């Protein structure tokens, strides 16, 4: 069977066995998260490791990826060995609920997650895909509660979620003492309503602008803004 390999400018990743394949959501989060000054990063639900590798390209931090799915971690480890940053990336097969019990004394200055987000919706006949996309193993409140415990007082938590979950996410984070410091609503085209939202939260309140980004322009080509964001990664940008 031929491997499914996704090629970026500085690294390539195998992702055919992971619970979630490399897609626009992960690339958006990996490119948008401001980690240039990061020292240690936790990637929750890392899959094949794509977000961690994207962040490693832009910083000198040590990056830890966790995922409950065995095949995802095996694939992430395979990708790590072949990557330019193998010495400062590690992966662990473990659920967040168990991880926080083991690692409660340690905090991270950046936490990222492209979490499972479908709630009470029709599930796939493939259990692995349900773990990656449906909140059968990790719901939003559990995620935010755990992030709040693991995040350094000066740290940042970045995630991507469906736009219709934006207000719920903001409210849950505020209840836990996490406040928006950066937000971007993602549109497929300029005339479409947003279908994804990128968040950056911090424990301190700060001023922020509400941004919008269209993936493609009205001519159905990648927009200048999306090209600028992803130009260090995509081969065709």
Q: Output the pLDDT for position 103.
A: 63
The pLDDT confidence band at residue 3, using thresholds 50, 70 and 90, is low
18-47 pLDDT per residue, tens: 988 899 999 999 999 999 899 999 999 999
* Average pLDDT of the residues in 53-69: 97
Q: Output the pLDDT for position 122.
A: 42
Examine residue 161 and state whether it is found in any structural domain, yes or no.
yes
Look at residue 134 and tell me whether its pLDDT is greater than 50. Answer: no
Examine residue 112 and state whether it is found in any structural domain, yes or no.
yes
Examine residue 235 and state whether it is found in any structural domain, yes or no.
no
CB 157 within 8 A of CB 178: yes
CATH of the domain at 180: 3.40.50.150
Examine residue 7 and state whether it is found in any structural domain, yes or no.
no
Examine residue 8 and state whether it is found in any structural domain, yes or no.
no
- Provide the number of structural domains found in the chain: 1
Examine residue 197 and state whether it is found in any structural domain, yes or no.
yes
Examine residue 44 and state whether it is found in any structural domain, yes or no.
yes
3 state SS for 184-237: EEEECCCCCCCCEEEEEEECCCCCCCEEEEECECCCCCECHHHHHHHCCCCCCC
Examine residue 9 and state whether it is found in any structural domain, yes or no.
no
Q: The domain containing residue 157 runs over which residues?
A: 22-230
């Amino acid at each position: 069977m031929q491997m499914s390999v996704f090629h970026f400018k500085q690294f390539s990743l195998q992702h055919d066995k992971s619970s979630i394949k490399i897609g626009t959501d992960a690339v958006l989060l990996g490119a948008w998260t401001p980690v240039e000054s990061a020292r240690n990063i936790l990637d929750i639900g890392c899959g094949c490791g794509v977000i961690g590798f994207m962040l490693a390209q832009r910083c000198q931090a040590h990056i830890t990826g966790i995922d409950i799915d065995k095949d995802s971690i095996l694939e992430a480890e395979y990708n790590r060995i072949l990557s330019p940053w193998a010495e400062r990336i590690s992966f662990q097969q473990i659920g967040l609920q168990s991880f926080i019990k083991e690692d409660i004394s340690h905090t991270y200055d950046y936490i990222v997650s492209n979490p499972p987000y479908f709630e009470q919706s029709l599930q796939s006949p493939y259990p692995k895909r349900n773990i990656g996309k449906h909140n059968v193993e990790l719901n939003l409140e559990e995620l935010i509660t755990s992030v709040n415990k693991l995040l350094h007082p000066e740290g940042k938590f970045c995630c991507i979620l469906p736009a219709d979950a934006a207000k719920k996410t903001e409210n849950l984070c505020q209840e836990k003492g996490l406040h928006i410091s950066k937000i971007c609503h993602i549109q497929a085209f300029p005339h479409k309503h947003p279908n994804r939202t990128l968040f950056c939260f911090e424990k301190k309140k700060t001023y922020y602008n509400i941004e919008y980004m269209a993936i493609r322009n009205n001519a159905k080509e990648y927009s200048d803004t999306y090209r600028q964001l992803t130009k260090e990664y995509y081969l065709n940008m």
